[in-house]
Structure 1
């Protein structure tokens, strides 16, 4: 059930990531139908955290079972898979723009159309961004540092790992990384040529989510951490504090939206309010899905069971198990759909809503195709005998 819930979380965050991206591309009012008005926790944060958690679980088990050679074989395989997905997105973006012509103007092509080849080349070397696909180049860097992080956890130095993560996150708050990218672009002349260096997600900031999740997953694999510990009554007051903080963040965010206040928080550097809000939500959700299921308070118990049913819902679990391929597809699909539709000014809100729903609905067929592909490859490795898909 533990893996099922983790996959369910990944599927949930992935779905709403695509939902919000699609609503943004087509300027649909459907962006109001989401959990984004409940504070400063968004889908990308949860997606990155739970991806790190899964990596920590799986890769630490491989390290314990097969040693460093087995771990590095798994790392190479994962890097290859992610990089191929990243390259496919880059190629799809380049080809789509080439077919559509240089005068194409949609929100997704605001900067890319200025220098398609240069921006693709920057992406190949993990120095550039493709709209709505920034997580892939970020993951590639994180995966390369994953073995070092796992070694620290294995040696009982989890706190050292977290301290390093905190220091890097703190450094990201200074703006030095963005300054470096700007200077590099100016000195090289790439900025004048229309090439944008750097990705939306500051890797020094967002690594805290990935490696924080990895630390938890790796310790779970080693048997040093069990979420069942939160069933201890002493954790209930802590959970209630997390609940109050989560409610406070949600209320402040909603008030800020109603009053039309300009947000000062920066998501790209994972501003402190994002981290605090994420920790509060993580704390209450962890408690609800463990101790909350049998809590004496009927309301909390009902909410806990509702969340458990949601995050173990088979469609979300299935989506989460194929999250990498589905994520890569959503970037390609949005590029193609945006080009096919063109400017959205003349579209009604109903038309825009249909586009958002249609794009979001494509995720399951893509996950199904990937499952069939995995089954086919497994069958070939097994010498022609049928092997069920993951």
Structure 2
């Protein structure tokens, strides 16, 4: 199927800002405050997971619809195995660097925890993705989602999309109400049998964050099956609704800035924090993401046709930004680059502790250099694919298998 280049650009944008958010310097990095997440509760990781689910639904539903369940399932499970290889490869590379670089064991101790020196039990837990190194974040999630995706996509193909969405929301609600806690306790008990120092160490609750991926996957699947005309939901006539949604986002922006600058009373802050759980993708994040996703998509699609010149200019700016060739390059190889970004983050942290501290100007230059280095896997993969092209513009089977 034809690639939607704007979606590639969006994923590339999210990769760049995830790198900026993850890179760690003594004294902090000013560039981190340029992110839209500083103005609300919508983060790059959310958009990245959602877009990946959308594209998975679009791509693998077509395969399944043409070749049956087995055709799509084999491709999805191969993808899960590939992602598992990237995850384990990241851990191995970091552990090798830990043995080579002076001071790395001390510098990375907090990020690796028991991995590398916790014995056989820690290695088993890490291999099972139950005890994760810091900043692996999204990769282990995707493995679980890809393993579950074939049956769910097949249900959509068979006309059971509503059941898939309902099940996804029920799982999300189960996490919000704490029904998953006995499962976590059971996993922790099992890990204690491997080592007394082990516990479930994951940045995101996979049962909560799956709502982003799975609902997006259903949308992508329905689009691939021509059962959903997405344009009807983003019409110019919906401008009044979009205005109300934008105002609600401004409300949350005011809240966020109030918390940042200490303007919100302590009892209000305490009440709000009960609803703000990033790891569990709590209601505050879900509500903000749904609203922001709709407003953004409407501006990108219908915004260019509205009478308000400000909205038209904003639509044109978004179109230009998310079609930048560098961002599209990153987005075409997003998961490989995410794995590579983990290694870069560890290296930058080591450099900061061994050579730094740096000035804000120096930290900005290092960060920009790191962003440029993000493209290395993409450049390598595209050059390798170009070498396998046959005369006439066709490609070999190996070059298109990904």
Contact 2:23 2:367 in 1 (8 A): yes
2:258 is aligned to 255
Task: Quote how far apart the aligned CAs of 1:115 are.
Answer: 4.4
Aligned to 1:348: 359
Q: Name the structure 2 match of 1:288.
A: 299
What TM-score do the two structures reach when normalised by structure 1? 0.89
Please report the RMSD computed on the Cα atoms of aligned residues, expressed in angstroms: 3.0
Q: Structure 2 stretches of 5 or more lacking a match?
A: none
Aligned to 1:94: 95
**Equivalent residue for 1:69?**
70
- Residues 132-180 of structure 1: CA deviation (Å, up to 9, x unaligned): 1121111000001111221222222222211111110011123454564
Between the aligned partners of 2:371 and 2:182, the Cα distance in structure 1 is 36
1:352, distance to aligned residue in structure 2 (A): 2.6
The structure 1 residue matched to 2:232, chosen from 229, 237, 244, is 229
Instruction: Report the number of matched residues.
Output: 388
1:110 aligns to what?
110
Residue 98 of structure 1: how far off its partner (Å): 2.9
C-alpha displacement of 1:327: 0.3
Tell me the equivalent position of 1:44: 45
Structure 1: state its 5+ residue gaps.
Answer: none
1:268 aligns with 2:271: no
Aligned residue in 2 for 1:197:
200
| Cα displacement string for residues 22-46 of structure 1 (whole angstroms, at most 9, x for unaligned residues) | 1468732221122121210001000
1:153 to 151, 156, 166: 156
On the 8 A contact 1:186/1:192 being kept in 2, the answer is: no
Cα distance, 1:67 vs structure 2: 1.3
SS at structure 2 position matched to 1:156: coil
* 1:279 counterpart = 2:282: no
Match of 1:79 in 2: 80
> Hey, what's the Cα distance between the residues in 1 that align with 2:253 and 2:354?
34
Q: Deviations over 1:97-144 (max 9, x none)?
A: 2334788333x5315244425444322112121211121111000001
TM-score if structure 2 supplies the norm length? 0.87
Partner Cα distance (1:68, 1:24) in 2:
48
Q: 1:230 to 1:102 in 2, by over 3 A?
A: same
User: 2:308, 2:189 → 1: CA distance?
Assistant: 60
Q: Is the 8 A contact 1:185 1:191 kept in 2?
A: no
Alignment of 1:107-146 (within 5 A): 108-110=108-110, 112-116=112-116, 117=119, 118-146=121-149
Between the aligned partners of 1:2 and 1:231, the Cα distance in structure 2 is: 21
Quote the Cα distance in structure 2 between the aligned partners of 1:200 and 1:386: 34
Structure 1 residue corresponding to 2:384, chosen from 373, 380, 389: 373
Aligned mates of 1:99, 1:193 — CA distance in 2: 28
Assess if the C-alpha contact under 8 Å between 1:28 and 1:353 holds in 2.
yes
